[in-house]
Structure 1
Amino acid sequence: MATLDIKLKKANKVYREGELVKGAICVDAGKSEIAHQGITLVMEGSVNLQLSAKSVGLFEAFYSSLKPLQLINYSLDIAKPGKLPSGRTEIPFEIPLKAKGYKELYETYHGVFVNIQYSLKVDMKRPLLAKDLQKTCEFIVEYSDKDKAEKAKPKPVQFTISPETLTNVKEKQNVPKFKVKGKLESAVLCITKPLKGELMVEQCDTQIKSIEIQLVRVETCGCAEGYAKDATEIQNIQIADGDVCRGISIPIFMIFPRLFTCPTLSTNNFKVDFEINIVIVFQDNHLVTENFPIKLTRF
């Protein structure tokens, strides 16, 4: 049985705008030659938007603005109708990575309500009664222009968390008396470098069960008629377990996961922002959260 595959020259599949995406279409025909009605290769790049369950039905006007935004659509004829010999055949290709009617390509990003993806799709048409062959290969796009891109300039954040500073708790009298101090090295970060900082429990009248750091994405979809904004957790890292010693510095260290994060992005149709939550869980499983907006850049 014949098989079809796409092999890219770059093992990491990371490309920047203006580069040539090079590779080969690999056809394994098996023990006998195969006939085909043509082989085509399509490069696609798009932004797919969708609404969360709580937003569906609230904004009818959204549905016209939630159509996929096409960034790239480029088709290439790899082979005209004919026959391929038995065994393995490799057909080389190269396609320029250029935006279609947009100022620039957005970075690859796999979100919940916003998805930015780039792919190559090869299609081999077969004669009557023979099944057509298809193969899709995703590749990754990153920003390339260091001169235009925003640079990550250090913006240290000092914080104190106590019952008085909490804004998302209704009955503060039920919160045990505590005080946590700390700092984040910067609220503006290069996406390839870790988030660093430290915190210290100065005082707490009850036992602590856990201290955690959450990375949250805030995705906004919409148009002039209104916006739907949803926050979802990307990852949660426990930095302390059990009733931690008072007055001892606890390090904060988080690496940003590839594909699930991207440089902070704002357009007319959608936005992608990121936040850090510091979560303190008490022994009775009650918890308090302090939120810190952060900005991610490529350089």
Structure 2
Amino acid sequence: MAKERGVDIELKLSRGSRIYRPQEILAGMVVINNWASKYISHQGIRVIVDGRVNLQIPFHIPLNVSEDGDPDGFYETYHGSNINIQYLITTDVVRGYLHNTLSATLEFIIESVKGHLFNTPVSPESVSFYITQDTQKHQLLPALRSGGFRVTGNICTQCSLAEPVTGEIVVETSALPIYSIDIMLLRVESIIIGEKFALQTTEIQTTQVADGDVCHSMALPIYIILPRLLTCPGLSNGFFSIEFQLQIVISFESDLSKLYGEPKLKTTKQWVASQTLPLRLIRVERNQDG
């Protein structure tokens, strides 16, 4: 059904089933709905019957490793900030000089080859952390510097890409109420261009663990689902590298925090405390699910 402002047109067939046989009459109506009750002009109404056959042509293309047998010829699919690893399949239907070539492109996903996979489940490796006024290198609010705070916990720093990042965090003491507890997933991309080295850390996603003040000495669970195309196993090939980090961000309630809102990456605001930990992501062999 085609639409224009206040006017649309639709086709209605004489049979609700829309089933007809050869030699029968295909009958129906062209309905013009004039919702705006305005004058409609036209230069003729055409009805065309078109028959189409859609063909599906199968193909099989082996994804071979390089000639020397090195499986590193394929890097995992990754969509980053300055580094993108994509695999595309393109088809062209050449129709001759007087017709345009028909083309279609589709992205497909590459994961680690079997030789580089862990065949057995990998136990997540967790580290303990603590965040206090003494672990911060930037200036804090006077109330935080004098009254102090202590936030402890543990979090996975090695895990499978198919599993969530888990852990827990505990606010033991705090001179100011908690405004928010967030965990940022960061990517660290480095590129070597000639003799120059470019490194950039950007945020992939932020997971909020707590909103508002929390009970002291109560363990809060951490559960972070990793985005599929924005993460990959850590990679370094001499020309570029991809690494990941977790940044634990504690925002305290103050007039300034209400004024400026949510913290940004690697913030040094006076009402924010943080700690950054490395995150190693690995690929574990799984059954093909199609």
Same fold at TM > 0.5: yes
2:99 counterpart of 1:99: no
SS of the residue corresponding to residue 276 of structure 1 reads strand
SS of the residue corresponding to residue 213 of structure 2 reads coil
1:182 alignment partner in structure 2: 153
Deviations 1:38-68 (A, max 9, x none): xxxxxxxxxxxxxxxxxxxxxxxxxxxxxxx
Q: Structure 1 residues 139, 278: closer, same or farther in 2, change over 3 A? A: same
2:151 counterpart of 1:156: no
> Aligned runs of 1:111-122 on 2, under 5 Å?
111-122=80-91
SS of the residue corresponding to residue 231 of structure 1 reads strand
SS of the residue corresponding to residue 201 of structure 1 reads strand
2:203 counterpart of 1:218: no
SS of the residue corresponding to residue 107 of structure 1 reads coil
The letter for the 1-side match of 2:278 is: P
Q: Percent of aligned positions with the same letter in both sequences?
A: 37
More helix by share: 2
RMSD (Å) for aligned C-alpha atoms: 2.2
The letter for the 2-side match of 1:245 is: C
Q: Structure 1 residues 210, 172: closer, same or farther in 2, change over 3 A? A: closer
Q: Structure 1 residues 175, 145: closer, same or farther in 2, change over 3 A? A: farther
After TM superposition, give the deviation of residue 103 of structure 1 in Å. Answer: 3.9
2:273 alignment partner in structure 1: 288
Give the stretch that moved more between structures: 117-126 or 171-180: 171-180
Contact 2:191 2:241 in 1 (8 A): yes
Contact 1:152 1:296 in 2 (8 A): no
Output the CA distance in 2 between the equivalents of 1:259 and 1:180.
32
SS of the residue corresponding to residue 258 of structure 1 reads coil
Q: Provide TM-score, normalisation by structure 1.
A: 0.66
Structure 2 gaps, min length 5: 1-48, 258-270, 285-290
> Aligned runs of 1:217-236 on 2, under 5 Å?
217-223=187-193, 225-236=195-206
Contact 1:122 1:135 in 2 (8 A): yes
Contact 1:163 1:175 in 2 (8 A): no
1:260 alignment partner in structure 2: 230
Q: Provide TM-score, normalisation by structure 2.
A: 0.68
Output the CA distance in 1 between the equivalents of 2:62 and 2:131.
51
Contact 1:31 1:87 in 2 (8 A): no
**Larger-gyration structure (1/2):** 2
Deviations 1:122-168 (A, max 9, x none): 0112223322211001111111325665984543201110011123x
After TM superposition, give the deviation of residue 31 of structure 1 in Å. Answer: 4.8
More strand by share: 1
Q: Structure 1 residues 166, 152: closer, same or farther in 2, change over 3 A? A: farther
The letter for the 1-side match of 2:151 is: V
Give the stretch that moved more between structures: 156-165 or 122-131: 122-131
The letter for the 2-side match of 1:109 is: Y
The letter for the 2-side match of 1:280 is: I
Structure having greater relative contact order (Cα 8 Å, sep ≥ 6): 1
1:165 alignment partner in structure 2: 135
